[in-house]
Structure 1
Amino acid sequence: MYVADSRGTPAPAVPPEQSAAARGTRPGRRAALAPTVLALGTVSLITDISSEMVAAVLPLYLVAGLGLSPLGFGLLDGLYNGVGALVRLAGGHLGDRFGRHKALAGAGYALSALCKPLLLLAHTLPAIGAVLALDRTGKGLRTAPRDALISLAAAPEDRGRAFGVHRAMDTAGALVGPVLAFLILRGAADGYDAVFTVSACVAALGVLVLVLFVPGRPAPARAAAGADGVPVRVSLRASVGLLRGRDLRRTGLSALLLGLCTVSDGFVFLLLQRATGLADRWFALLPLGTAAAFFLLALPLGRLADRIGRRRVFLGGHLALLLAYGLLLAGGHHPWLPYAVLLLHGGFYAATDGVLMAAAAAAVPEEHRGGGLALVQTGQALARFAAALGFGAAWTVWGPRPALAVACVLLAAAVGVCVRLRPAAD
């Protein structure tokens, strides 16, 4: 991977057989990561500490602290996850249209940081819902421009590695945040207020790091030209029209189809608790197990995807998830069961999250990078949201084990279908 210059401008493309010599590295030795990737990884690490501090205490704060009903919390949770998915399209498109991916990402991070202290003032369901919607709007605005910056800073053959490093750093924040929130709750008199205040300060630090250390990518001097020499116009219609391309369409369809057949994290943890008889006091540690596995496997699986193909690793991650579902169905009070399920669950995210973006980036032209990645992200996010609703309804009607058995069958069938949806670029 080449080293980006101070402005984050991509280096000229180099043939694979000449890449090591052209970049000043010896054959067989990996070049240093681009500064843009490391800087964005640092921003995501800091921001995820802030976000996970709030996420760790928010359910208890809303239900036990404010007396919100489970139905009210369910509505807020759906709003929390659904709004960001829709805003991603706007964030990706605006970043492409104006050539200001860093500015859009910075606006998203700043908006989310502003929402943390607002939680101190919100004490009713509409007010809390509005704050959470703003927070997810910020996340939606920043996600596609941030991933576009990573893909543009990385050489094509190293994108899996670049996204793996970024996701590992991001997940490190997910490990630190809940622990920090736990320590603050134990040591502070007004625990929730202290968590929200510290979270706001940490989020502001993340925005400052982005402004000072993430290289901007200036708008090109002239618009990219199409095959007929006419400049390509970056419009929303043109971004959506990217789905006419075989590779991006098949990559997006695979992500959407598999997303419809996955069980959301909260349900996985509840099923694991039921299968093992885990005490309630240990339940909050289950997400840390998934995050730890994600952190350890993100970079190795990103590198593997660069070597053997991103689609293979992406589908392999879903097979790991299918195995985790099978272990949950088998049940039994085996001492190794929680570790095996959490390792497979974290491995699933390590093999799919950044790897999917690396695969999609290969099918999207540079001038539409943010919008193209946002299309895939939005389709997957909405599919997972629908899957969570469907699994919750199936659990209510049939019970947890039959609902999980149906999810296993659907996921296995979806993997079989996606094996045939092979992009030409893979």
Structure 2
Amino acid sequence: MYLTDRSTPPRADTGRRRRRGLRSRAAPVVFVLGTVSLITDISSEMVTAVLPLYLVTTLGFSPLGFGALDGVYNGVSALVQLVGGHLADRVRNHKLIAGLGYGLSALCKPLLLLAGSVGTLGTVLALERTGKGLRTAPRDAMISLSTPPENQGRAFGVHRAMDTTGAMLGPLAAFFILRAATDGYDAVFGVSACVAALGVLVLVLFVPGGQRAARADGPTENTGRQRHHDEPDDGGAPPDGAGATDGAATADTGPPVHLREALALLRLPRLRALAGCAALLGLTTVSDAFVYLLLQRRAGIGEQWFTLLPLGTAVVFLLLAMPVGALADRIGRRTVFLAGHAALLLGYALLLWAPATPVLPPLVLALHGTFYAATDGVLPAALADIVPGQLRASGLAIVGTSQALARFCCSLAFGAAWTVWGDGPALAGAAAGLLCCATVAGMVLRPTGGTRS
């Protein structure tokens, strides 16, 4: 069982691939969805950048209280991903469900201005994450279905690079707003709402919907699942005889998908292995907010500079997302995926034992960004050879939910461990767990037969 391997067609197809040129690498819909994500991430990361400091220093949250709220912030979207993925496959309109998700998140941004209590704030954040959960699987399904299997890593790398550009600009905007505005946090929340509305507008106007979305620049030849001659048979067929086709048209044609068909995806051994390993590794992936709080304490960074820490991660992610995605297409996604977790483990080690020198923050942030570049787009790219096109959003939701729920549990556990034992022992436990889990994942996802990793 393995994450996925190179999907490069035989050399006989080289001429055809060359004729397709750049068009086969990233369809226009990928760039449009990347623009929507860029704008939306500016809005979201403006809030995310100030939220840890706002909750801990202004509202007086304990690490346990912050861990619980951060867990809710991420856990709600995890559960809703399953709903969003299934709805998108059932109604055969990925744009509609994604648009509802983007719209709900945008509506919640101005409500942050009215959230004066912990309960109200938690409710608003839960609704905002509900929007994220609805949109994630349909959006990734549109990217996957418009891209040939051999270029999935590159396409998701392009999207994640544009998405990360927004993640880079968001904290920077929050930094300048906090310095310029009298009521800094309210100003950040207000501007964030306006930017989110712009993202929804771009989605509505420029992303094709219905069958046009399914056909827009999607692969039109050799749409069947490409598999090497030495790839093992998983022994699990798609439900109801659906072939694992990658043609985009399968997303918006045919009868509605029933819930039992989506659940039957769990019979696929490769999907179960992928979802299980994503969850296992997620259990030891410390929340970004905790990483930044730890780095601030270790390096003695002033509060006025805190909002710039996510910028460092975003810059590295932006620079590496496309080349690392293309590398995963060439040498195997399992290798790149596990290497990303090794980078994260090294970042934990630096936070635990490295002296507080001026090079500590850039080193930790570089490793943090490398981790995301090697995992965030590679994981959904791996599903192109596993899940049939008409169930792609459901498959993406299953894997994404397993990972996000595990990270929700990690946030709760890490916050509790920090409160009881302190930040050092809590991080040491997470690092030891990550090492063990990565070892297990490497064995479960190892290549079989003659495949390369």
When normalised by structure 1's length, the TM-score is 0.87
Tell me which of 258, 278, 282 is aligned to 1:255.
278
Aligned 1:16-415 pairs, distance under 5 A: 16-17=10-11, 19-22=13-16, 25=19, 31=24, 33-61=26-54, 67=59, 69-70=61-62, 73-218=66-211, 226=241, 234-415=257-438
Alpha-carbon separation, structure 1, partners of 2:306 and 2:182? 24
Contact 1:329 1:405 in 2 (8 A): yes
- Contact kept, 8 Å, 1:25 with 1:31, in 2: the verdict is no
Instruction: Check conservation: 2:92, 2:256, Cα contact below 8 A.
Output: no
* CA 187–199 in structure 1, closer or farther in 2 if over 3 Å, else same: same
How far, CA to CA, are the matches of 1:14 and 1:397 in structure 2?
51
Return the alpha-carbon distance in structure 2 between the equivalents of residues 293 and 226 of structure 1: 43
Deviations 1:128-185 (A, max 9, x none): 3222221111110000000000000111000101111111111111111122223233
CA distance in structure 2 between the partners assigned to 1:72 and 1:404 by the alignment = 17
SS at match of 1:382: helix
CA contact (8 A) 2:279 2:402 kept: yes
Could you tell me how far apart the structure 1 residues matched to 2:157 and 2:147 are?
Answer: 12
User: Displacement, 1:23?
Assistant: 5.5
Aligned equivalents of 1:307, 1:32: Cα separation in 2: 13
Higher relative contact order (CA 8 A, sep 6+): 2
Q: How far did 1:421 drift?
A: 1.3
Give the total of aligned pairs.
409
Cα deviations by residue, 1:357-392 (Å, 9 ceiling, x for unpaired): 101232111111001100000000011111122222
When residues 227 and 348 of structure 1 are mapped into structure 2, their CA distance, relative to the original with a 3 A threshold, is: closer
SS at 1:218's partner residue?
helix
Change (3 A) 1:75 1:321: closer
Report % sequence identity: 63
197 and 407 in structure 1: CA distance in 2 versus 1, 3 angstrom threshold: closer
From the superposition, tell whether residues 151 and 130 of structure 1 become closer, same or farther in structure 2 (CA, over 3 Å).
same
Unaligned runs of 5+ in 1: 1-12
Counterpart residue type for residue 261 of structure 1: T
Cα RMSD between the aligned structures? Answer: 2.9
TM-score, L = length of structure 2: 0.82
